[in-house]
Chain A
Amino acid sequence: MLPGIEKINPDLSLLTPQLIVLGLSLLLLLIDAVVPRWRGAVMAYLTLIGYAAALVATFFMFDMNESTFYGMIRADDFSAFVNVIVLVAGILSVLVSINYMTSRAEPGSMPVPEYYALISFSILGAMIVGAAGDLVIVFLGIEMSSLAVYALTGFARHRITSLEGALKYFLLGLFASAILLYGMAWTYGATGTTNLSEIAAELANYDTSGNIEASLLLAVLLLIVGLGFKVAAVPFHMWTPDAYQGAPTPVSAYMSVIPKAAGFAAMVRLLVQALEPLADEWTIIIAILAVVTMFFGNIVAIAQTDIKRMLAYSSIGHTGYMLAAVAAYGASASIDDDLSVTSLLFYLLAYAFMNIGAFAIVTWLQDRGRGVDLSDFRGLASQSPVAALMMTVFLLSLTGLPPLVGFYAKYYVILATVDAGMIWLAVAIVLASAASAFYYLRVIATMYFAEAEQPEPVGSTPWLGAGLLAMVAGTILVGIFSGRVFDLAQGWVDALTIIPG
């Protein structure tokens, strides 16, 4: 009874955005080798065009719920939305990077051509995670994304701190990957399959009313730990501040969003989709992690004076909010109304605009020869009012102040948590937000209330400027017109449909 070797006939159209990005990455590598003179700006244009094309393709991917490659690849609204998040974040990151790469902000020179290729690969990895229908694909996607980011972190190879960040990120990433893998192995061992839908189907037969078998729970927990590392949940967050601080600023901006998005996509795929029957067990764990994370991140951020490090801790805090969104899963009577992942996805999109925006302003200052310390922001409002205003918008949005997108994001998360009956979690979110106002406001206060000490920042960064405009517009408008976005995100429930491989 040998299964005959059938001609595999995958529906590659379901992978259109991914294929576009893959093609782009290969093209970039090729150009580097063949037409070295096109290095720099031309590659950036190409990258932007490629992402835009993938984004456009993604919009045709909504309202689908199919799988291909023996169920290894899912094309549902969840994967489409993840694509939107990472591609938007990718476009923004590239816009932030272009001028930085050629500025003298980093010592020595950087291998620019590979930069865009690596970013594209990383984005591809994240998109693959979003579309994954199998543990193997989740793993491969995460690794692809991570490997590229390790290299990007150490991209300023002449700066020791950059390499140090890369090393730490890498070692711990490897460590966490091993844990994640172990969890996957246990999942496989408990269910006999690696297909996410099949795992869910398998577990659905399992009696989850009482206590869970230890080995099954171990699998869940190892997965949570591994994923917790990827999304920087406390206490698995330790790499975050060092890596963010060490990496070149555009890379920090990039990795504050896309690996996090990949991590959360994996979390949704693994926990929500595959381990859905065990939701009662993991929601509470995630909820506790969420509270610890949001408080730790937001409180330690207060003590930071290095803006990048501060934003790193802030991103840990935001991970807490997003974890809260995940923890809110499973409360609604009708799964179609479940807001947990909807709010998570919206949060990630919002976060892309505001957090990359904040890093972009840091980049903007670095491009003009300033450092990344809080004192470098002194009196910015009087020297460059527009930049200061933009930074204010981003920071206030991160604080969660209406009518900026950060508020809507947080609101939806609170909506989800309260719906899940976790009022305490909602209260924790708002208290942590209040604490976060401390340090966000300190930057604003430094820009507006302090006297300038350094000479006026001069320089020309047209691409960065365009990116900043886009991000400010996004930060203001995405929230106000969040209705449609929210509807799109609500399509994630597709992922719960069981499509066996």
Chain B
Amino acid sequence: MSDLLFLIPLLPLIAAAVNYIFGRWYLRETSAYIATAAVAVSFALSLGVFIDQLGSDDPLRQHLYDWVPAGLFHAPLNLYADHLTAVMLMVVTSVSLLVHIYSMGYMQGDPGYYRFFSFLPLFVFSMLMLVLADNLLVMFFGWEAVGLCSYLLIGFYFRRHSANQAAKKAFIVNRIGDFGFSVGVMLLFWKLDTIIFEQLFDRLDLLSTNTLTVAALLLFTGAVGKSAQLPLFVWLPDAMEGPTPVSALIHAATMVTAGVYMMARLYPVFSASSDALLVIAIVGALTAFIAGTIAITQFDIKRVIAYSTVSHLGFMVFAVGVGAWAAAIFHLMTHAFFKGLLFLGAGSVIHGMHEEQDMRRMGGLRKYMPTTHLTFLIAAASNAGIILFAGFWSKDEVLVGGWLDERYILTFVMFGAAFLSSLYIFRAYFMTFWGEERFDAREVHPHESPSIMTVPLVILAIPAAIIGFAGFPPEDGWIHDFLEPNFTTEQRSEEAASAVAVFQAEDEADEHHVSTAMTLTFGAISTLLSFGGLGVAYLAYVRKHPAFSPTVWAARAGPIYQLFANKYYLDEIYERLIVHPLYWFSEQVLWQIVDIRIIDGAVNGVASVVNYSAAQLRRVQTGFVANYALAIAIGAVIVIGLALAFQSDLLN
């Protein structure tokens, strides 16, 4: 199996290259089949890897070639698949495959069809490289490459200014995170002389706690960018400029979770620094809550889902921060399916509504598009954490993890986020599928999408509904066992081990002996919160209960509502405080003053001084012979005088 590992990313890459080069003139529609087939084979192979890993604790490895053999900084292109990778492979290839199929319908007739089916497998390739990497540099390659694909696909409609802006913004904001990430990589390399994961983990005990904390925080910066955490999440809502399948695949299911995956992959680094984890937990919790508050004020269906994504990424990051590693990955997995499904469903709605995205111009769609409605409902329930649906199990575990880690305040914040996630998703659901038809029926004729789109929805709905049982019973399900090897620290040196051992002992005691009572309590709270959200949404948007009227509440909340609706003015703050000053500084200070006036001014100044002195000195030459003779005489007197004074015995 390990010999075929390279095919998993390679096939999509080939598809991407072939489609890009030949797509425009030769392949055209055929490109979709090539891409889908490649991804399908990748999926099959991933399945093989998964099955292989199910029964084995030995990771699969494949050495391809030495990518960057720069002395100690040795970055071989190795593929590596352990349990964690296997889970990610499954998630990535399955969702990708479905999105590919779905896109064949969704993108029908688009002039950039071939381009789409070139970028999409390229993304799959990049994501698979990220997942399969065995060292930091290859991971960084995948990390940046998915960013590129995100850029290409957000800006897919490159004739739209807003799409271009969003694409650029996504890339640049991501790069801020990447900056931190790469400094983290360099820090680890500097201290440990390697960037290969396994060697890195072996040598971690050489690091002081402070260094570890710094390294972990730097690496986390990468995750903040990629996984759209506070304060860098601003790019993700704008990323909805891309075609909806892209949002489903990249900005919900896979790419944005790369940050979480990265932290899981670097578990030994992160788990060794409790300070860093605390920061991570706080960021995650705040992100989850704040994104939720924004989501309830949005009217664009994709934006609601986008903020929901941010919020759920916050859940995952929070899980990492409180040491609930398995829960984080578990939530990542369930979220991939239900959020992918939500986006695809939203895409189907948009498709059926002739590119309308504003929920205020929708309503009552359930009778026009039943399949979409049903699958969307399943996904929404999962997202809201309605009991038995996938999202419930994973979210519940995150909350329990927070409590067990004794982050009580944060856990309460997370409760709020959980309530909000139920509220906004059902708000969206009800606004879209229930209530009166607010669109102009003369122009818009809602219709169900073709089966090429609905079939993936149905397929995706299955895991979105039931995949949660992979984590049943809570804290002790299959997923926990499977990921166990990834999240235990081994092989620590004596002294470090003793220090960690205590911590770990407590940890294990807490984690693996969760009382049934606690499980039940948290299940109850979760259920309460999710139904609470559902209920409020129902009352407000279906029953139009005056006590829950959104307009009234919006007016009552006033500035707070404005704050939410304007996403805390983060974009504006960045624009005013960073972007504009930077432009001003670059142009007015650096370029116009430092460069042109000072540096170049000095250069030209030398020339001017020379020219000026030339113009002045030439006037010495008066044309008057007596002056010339005088010059000679003065020169003689000076030369003779000085020489006599200094060199002769006259004065000395």
Choose one: B610, B621, B625; the contact of A435 (CB below 8 Å).
B610
| Residues on the A chain within 8 Å of B628, using CB | 168, 172, 238-239
Please name the residue on chain B nearest to A174 by beta carbon.
B629
CB-based contact A235/B632 at 8 Å: yes
B452 within 8 A of A: no
Selecting from A75-83, A86-94, A206-214, the interface stretch reads: A206-214
CB distance from B645 to the nearest CB of A (A): 10
| Residues on the B chain within 8 Å of A175, using CB | 629, 632
A45 within 8 A of B: no
A-B pair count, CB < 8 Å, reads 97
CB distance from B587 to the nearest CB of A (A): 31
| Residues on the A chain within 8 Å of B607, using CB | 438
B643 within 8 A of A: yes
Contact pattern, A 297-321, Cβ under 8 Å of B = 1, otherwise 0 = 0011111100000000000000000
| Residues on the B chain within 8 Å of A211, using CB | 647-649, 652
CA distance A285 to B648 in the complex (A): 13
A147 within 8 A of B: no
Please name the residue on chain B nearest to A226 by beta carbon.
B636
Q: Which 8 residue pairs of A and B lie closest in terms of their CB atoms, listed nearest first?
A: A238-B628, A235-B635, A303-B614, A302-B614, A211-B649, A214-B648, A225-B636, A303-B618
CA distance A212 to B652 in the complex (A): 10
A176 within 8 A of B: yes
CB distance from B231 to the nearest CB of A (A): 52
B559 within 8 A of A: no
Per the 8 Å Cβ criterion, residues 616-652 of B in contact with A are 617-618, 620-621, 623, 625, 627-629, 631-632, 634-636, 639-640, 643-644, 647-650, 652
A203 within 8 A of B: no
- 24 A-B interface contacts by CB (under 8 A): A171-B629, A172-B628, A172-B629, A175-B629, A176-B632, A212-B648, A213-B648, A217-B643, A218-B640, A218-B644, A225-B636, A225-B640, A228-B635, A234-B635, A236-B632, A236-B636, A238-B632, A281-B643, A296-B617, A301-B614, A303-B611, A303-B614, A303-B618, A438-B607
Given contacts A222-B640, A239-B628, 10 further A-B contacts (CB under 8 A): A175-B629, A179-B632, A218-B644, A225-B635, A228-B635, A236-B635, A285-B643, A302-B611, A303-B617, A435-B610
User: Taking each of A214, A220, A228, A289, which has the highest tally of chain B beta carbons within 10 Å of its own beta carbon?
Assistant: A214
Please name the residue on chain B nearest to A299 by beta carbon.
B614
| Residues on the B chain within 8 Å of A300, using CB | 614, 617-618, 620-621
A54 within 8 A of B: no
Choose one: B613, B634, B644; the contact of A235 (CB below 8 Å).
B634
Q: How many residues of B contact A (CB 8 A)?
A: 29
| Residues on the B chain within 8 Å of A234, using CB | 635
Please name the residue on chain A nearest to B640 by beta carbon.
A221
| Residues on the B chain within 8 Å of A167, using CB | 625
A229 within 8 A of B: yes
CA distance A236 to B617 in the complex (A): 15
Measuring CB to CB, which residues of chain A are less than 8 angstroms from any residue of chain B?
A: 167-168, 171-172, 175-176, 179, 210-214, 217-218, 220-222, 224-225, 228-229, 234-236, 238-239, 241-242, 281, 285, 289, 296, 299-304, 435, 438
CB-based contact B614/A224 at 8 Å: no
CB-based contact A438/B610 at 8 Å: yes
Per the 8 Å Cβ criterion, residues 376-404 of B in contact with A are none
Please name the residue on chain B nearest to A296 by beta carbon.
B617
CA distance A299 to B620 in the complex (A): 13
| Residues on the B chain within 8 Å of A220, using CB | 643
The A interface is mostly helix, strand or loop, or mixed, namely helix
CA distance A302 to B612 in the complex (A): 10
B615 within 8 A of A: yes
| Residues on the A chain within 8 Å of B647, using CB | 211-212, 217, 281
CB-based contact B610/A213 at 8 Å: no
| Residues on the B chain within 8 Å of A289, using CB | 639
CB-based contact A221/B649 at 8 Å: no
| Residues on the A chain within 8 Å of B639, using CB | 221, 224-225, 285, 289
CA distance A171 to B610 in the complex (A): 32
Contact pattern, B 27-41, Cβ under 8 Å of A = 1, otherwise 0 = 000000000000000
| Residues on the A chain within 8 Å of B621, using CB | 238, 241-242, 300
CB distance from A226 to the nearest CB of B (A): 9
CA distance A222 to B618 in the complex (A): 26
| Residues on the A chain within 8 Å of B634, using CB | 235
CA distance A238 to B624 in the complex (A): 10
CB-based contact B649/A214 at 8 Å: yes
| Residues on the B chain within 8 Å of A438, using CB | 607, 610
Per the 8 Å Cβ criterion, residues 560-604 of B in contact with A are none
CA distance A126 to B639 in the complex (A): 27
CA distance A282 to B644 in the complex (A): 12
CA distance A303 to B620 in the complex (A): 12
CB-based contact B625/A168 at 8 Å: yes
Please name the residue on chain B nearest to A217 by beta carbon.
B648
Choose one: A238, A302, A304; the contact of B631 (CB below 8 Å).
A238
CA distance A234 to B629 in the complex (A): 12
Please name the residue on chain A nearest to B616 by beta carbon.
A303
CB-based contact B643/A299 at 8 Å: no
Please name the residue on chain B nearest to A171 by beta carbon.
B625
Choose one: A210, A224, A229, A242; the contact of B632 (CB below 8 Å).
A229
| Residues on the B chain within 8 Å of A296, using CB | 617
| Residues on the A chain within 8 Å of B617, using CB | 296, 299-300, 303
| Residues on the A chain within 8 Å of B648, using CB | 211-214, 217
CA distance A175 to B644 in the complex (A): 22
Choose one: B613, B629, B636, B649; the contact of A212 (CB below 8 Å).
B649
CA distance A146 to B635 in the complex (A): 22
CB-based contact A214/B625 at 8 Å: no
CB-based contact B615/A179 at 8 Å: no
CB-based contact B632/A299 at 8 Å: no
CA distance A221 to B648 in the complex (A): 11
| Residues on the A chain within 8 Å of B615, using CB | 303
| Residues on the B chain within 8 Å of A285, using CB | 639, 643
Please name the residue on chain A nearest to B617 by beta carbon.
A300
CB distance from A394 to the nearest CB of B (A): 22
CA distance A172 to B640 in the complex (A): 19
Please name the residue on chain A nearest to B647 by beta carbon.
A281
| Residues on the B chain within 8 Å of A299, using CB | 610, 613-614, 617
Please name the residue on chain A nearest to B637 by beta carbon.
A225
CA distance A455 to B35 in the complex (A): 69
CB distance from B510 to the nearest CB of A (A): 75
CB-based contact A213/B631 at 8 Å: no
Per the 8 Å Cβ criterion, residues 229-279 of B in contact with A are none
CA distance A211 to B648 in the complex (A): 5
CB distance from A406 to the nearest CB of B (A): 21
| Residues on the A chain within 8 Å of B613, using CB | 299
Choose one: A171, A214, A435; the contact of B650 (CB below 8 Å).
A214
CA distance A304 to B635 in the complex (A): 24
CA distance A304 to B625 in the complex (A): 20
CB distance from A293 to the nearest CB of B (A): 11
CB distance from B602 to the nearest CB of A (A): 15
